Amino acid sequence: MPANYPFRRLPVYSLGVLALLVLAVVGSIFLIRAQAAANERVRHTIEVEIALVEVLEKVRAVESAVRGYVNTRRPEMIADLTLSANDLSHKLARVRALTSDNPVQRHNVERLRQLIDQRIALGRRSITLVQRNEANALQAMGSNLPGRAVTQEISKQVGAMKHVEQNLLGDRIAGVQRAVWMLTVGMLVSLFLIISVATGIVFEARRRYRVVEQARDEARLAATTAQNEMRAREEAETRLRQMQKMESMGQLTGGIAHDFNNMLAIIIGNLDLAERRMDKDPERALKSIENAREGAQRAATLTARLLAFSRQQPLAPLALDANKLVSGMSELLHRTLGEHIAVETILAGGLWSTFADPGQLENALLNLAVNARDAMPEGGRLTIETANSHLDEAYAATRDEVEPGQYVVLCVTDTGTGMAPDVVEQAFEPFFTTKGVGKGTGLGLSQVFGFVKQSGGHVSIYSEIGEGTTVKLYLPRHIGPATVKTSDPASESLPHGSAQEVILVVEDEQRVRHFAVEALRELGYTTISASDGMHGLEVIRQHPHISLLLTDIVMPRLNGRKLADEARQMLPELRVLYTTGYTRNAVVHNGVLDPGVALLPKPFTIAQLANRVRAVLDGQAAAG
């Protein structure tokens, strides 16, 4: 190669180009830092606006609590007011901290604090007047709830502060855009210098280029091969998941069909027998009818369990003490499990309260206890333990649908045969059972799983072959005292009504409507009926002395919830009892009954109808 070949001079000028490149990189880093600072200022502005929105929401929560107490005089509204006021203090402190660098906003924050203090003081004053029954003084404070004008001032003040932040946001966004533009220019300069350096050294690297190109081609080939293998593996996994899903669906539908066909065979067969025996042998006919009723009840129980697994059963949760619930089940557990099973309870001191449906929780524990009994055919020990527990983020990240936080845990442990790992993985699947034919439906654990998940909790199983099984139910902690719930002893006779109590039955299914009307008349009520919501409204206009509206929810033209709302506009004191066979509707949201709603799930017996109607007419708790 000649001595004057251009490559010989390359190191001389490349050093200068590299120096310029270093300057361009340093300048780009500076611009990146400037852009990051501008982005931080924009984020700060957005954070202030979010904090202001949270303050306004808490102010509205204070007003809602005051309004709720004035209208209902429910003591928990005072607690809501106190909690909202405390949260409001924290939110306002956060706004003050975020805007401490802005004199204008500091003044606005101080003005906002004065308005909030005034609003809270007016709310507490309104509550005091209500408690003292000083209606005239409360009326003198305004035609609406006291403090509405102050709330509007607070809203305006928050709007003014957001306007200030919006102006700052505009300036800061403009700063970000300038930084982006300068960064772009810097990057273009850097790119130009890089191209220049690359152009200067490309000739020197010509000999190595072929080797690099060959290595690149080999790498691309390897990458393509790896991608093809990954794609084939993903397709195989997708097909496997689809097959498993179809297998689960087949198991589910097959189990439903099998059980329902058995129950329908019991119902239809016994009704046929009853028809044939009605004249010749009335006693045996009644026995056949009782068998048919039992089959229908089993079908209703199966439906309830399926709804529990699918997390669509209507729950009526209460703040409850799990220790008291477990203690109250001791007699039932001993009677159900038998003398060969020793039942032991370990109740934690200082146990938090939880928020769950007590009846469904008792059913879940009873299901687990029965499963444990079946796993200990020769006897053993069943232990129910309660404890406070905290699930951290590391634990929640390894399990689906688990939120980190504080939980009340109920552990049910047996000394039975235990389960293999593959059985544990399928334990919560509906209709999956390891018991013999006729010894289990395979819905017990799936019902427990659905109830706990619907309650916002978590279920885990630990089992060892020959050692036993532990099932842990994690239910979210409830902040506040547990609800004291008492129940009267069940009456042997059905509660009846009087002819002065008029019940309107609105049901679009003719047979169900006929049954409800006849049953209520048997119970002594005066009963009228309507075939849908629109017809029901017409009947209400013609009969203003109706005591109770018993209405289906899912109906054409006008559903039961809208019917009840319009009916109460005409008759404010009207009692309402809803009935439905499907829980995802207008009175159940997120699986929980709306406050103040009375619901009678289908199918129902005359006894259930009688007790529920009497309870609603007597003004007892709606969600019993």
Distance in angstroms (rounded) separating the CA atoms of residues 265 and 508: 27
Label each residue of 532-563 as H, E or C: CHHHHHHHHHHCCCCCEEEEECCCCCCCHHHH
* pLDDT at residue 525 in the model: 94
Total length of the chain: 624
Angle among Cα 390, 394, 400 to the nearest 5 degrees reads 90
Q: Please enumerate in sequence order all residues whose Cβ is within 8 A of that of 485, keeping only pairs 6 or more positions apart, or say none.
A: 318, 320, 358
Give the three-state DSSP class for 471: strand
* pLDDT at residue 488 in the model: 45
Over the stretch 106-148, which tens digit does the pLDDT of each residue have? 888 888 888 888 888 887 887 787 777 775 655 555 544 556 7
* pLDDT at residue 143 in the model: 47
CB burial string 492-516: b at 16+ within 10 A, e below: eebbebeeebbbbbbbbeeebbebb
Give the three-state DSSP class for 575: strand
Alpha carbon separation from 267 to 130, 253, 293, 297, 524 (Å, rounded) = 58, 21, 7, 10, 29
* pLDDT at residue 157 in the model: 81
* pLDDT at residue 535 in the model: 92
Distance in angstroms (rounded) separating the CA atoms of residues 305 and 538: 38
Query: For residue 560, which of 490, 519, 512, 619 has the smallest C-alpha distance?
Result: 512
Query: Mutual orientation of helices 103-131 and 76-98 as an angle, nearest 10°?
Result: 170
DSSP H stretches of helix in 73-147: 76-98, 103-131, 135-140
Over the stretch 367-408, which tens digit does the pLDDT of each residue have? 888 888 888 888 888 999 999 988 888 888 877 778 888 999
Give me 371's structure tokens: 């499963």
Cis peptide before 556 (omega within 30 of 0): no
Give the three-state DSSP class for 91: helix
Contact 412, 369 (CB under 8 A): yes
φ, ψ of residue 386 to 5 degrees: the values are: -115, 150
Distance in angstroms (rounded) separating the CA atoms of residues 469 and 251: 25
Going by DSSP bridges, is the β-strand pair 526-530/502-506 parallel, antiparallel, or unpaired? parallel
pTM for the structure as a whole: 0.42
First to last CA, the chain: 99
Please, which residues bridge with residue 463 across strands? Answer: 469
* pLDDT at residue 301 in the model: 59
Which residues of the chain register pLDDT less than 50? Answer: 1-10, 143-144, 308-311, 436-439, 486-491, 591, 621-624
Contact 606, 494 (CB under 8 A): yes
* pLDDT at residue 18 in the model: 66
Question: Reading across the β-sheet that carries 548-552, which strands appear in turn?
Answer: 526-530, 502-506, 548-552, 575-580, 599-601
* Consecutive H or E run containing 413: strand 405-414
Query: For residue 454, which of 316, 249, 602, 252 has the smallest C-alpha distance?
Result: 316
* pLDDT at residue 264 in the model: 67
* pLDDT at residue 621 in the model: 44
* Consecutive H or E run containing 473: strand 468-478
Alpha carbon separation from 216 to 194, 199, 567 (Å, rounded) = 21, 20, 78
Please, which residues bridge with residue 573 across strands? Answer: none
* pLDDT at residue 505 in the model: 94
Distance in angstroms (rounded) separating the CA atoms of residues 33 and 24: 14
* pLDDT at residue 141 in the model: 56
Distance in angstroms (rounded) separating the CA atoms of residues 309 and 446: 5
Angle among Cα 243, 246, 248 to the nearest 5 degrees reads 110
Greatest CA span in the chain, whole angstroms?
A: 127
For the chain, domains (ranges, CATH) are: 6-199 (1.20.120.1730), 319-478 (3.30.565.10), 502-617 (3.40.50.2300)
In terms of C-beta density within 10 A (0-12 exposed, 13-18 middle, 19 or more buried), how is residue 263 classed? Answer: buried
- Give 378's DSSP letter: T
* Consecutive H or E run containing 503: strand 502-506
Distance in angstroms (rounded) separating the CA atoms of residues 149 and 155: 10
Query: Mutual orientation of helices 444-454 and 358-374 as an angle, nearest 10°?
Result: 150
